[in-house]
Amino acid sequence: MTPSYYYDAAGYPVFPCGKFSKAFSPTDLNQMQAIFDDCMRECCFSIDSEAAEALGGAIIRLYSQGQRDPVFIKAALLPSFRRRH
């Protein structure tokens, strides 16, 4: 099954997100930080940019939906974020 992608008005990917059913573990937080850092290096965003904030939000939404594969997350997010830089 192919995942569905949604995009905000600026063209950044947005993944629908319901309520958080649980808190993230320290391992989850470390993994999300590593994914964020990798994506930031690839896209060369400033840490205080709107694009960086959108990227972080997209990673959190994917995690809240149960996606934990860093390769999938980066593959889903990077093409769109690279185009916007």
Quick one: pLDDT band at residue 82, thresholds 50, 70, 90? Answer: confident
Residue among 56, 66, 70, 68 nearest 22 (CA): 66
Asked if the structure places residue 47 within a domain, the reply is yes
Q: Residue 15: inside a domain, yes or no?
A: no
Q: Are 55 and 38 in contact, with CB atoms under 8 Å apart? A: no
Which candidate, 67, 78, 85, places its Cα nearest to that of 13? 78
Q: What is the pLDDT of residue 38?
A: 96
pLDDT band, residue 8 (cuts 50/70/90): low
User: Interior CA angle at 22 toward 80 and 74, to 5°?
Assistant: 20
Q: Would you say residue 65 lies in a domain?
A: yes
pLDDT over 80 (residue 64): yes
Residue 78 domain-assigned? yes
Per the structure, the complete domain to which residue 64 belongs is given by: 24-84
Query: Is 8 part of a structural domain of the chain?
Result: no
Question: Per residue in 17-54, pLDDT tens?
Answer: 554 446 889 999 999 999 999 999 999 989 999 999 99
Domain count along the chain:
1
**Has residue 34 been placed in a domain?**
yes
Q: How far apart are CA 23 and CA 1, in angstroms?
A: 28
Average pLDDT, the chain: 83
Note whether 15 and 55 are within 8 A (CB). Answer: no
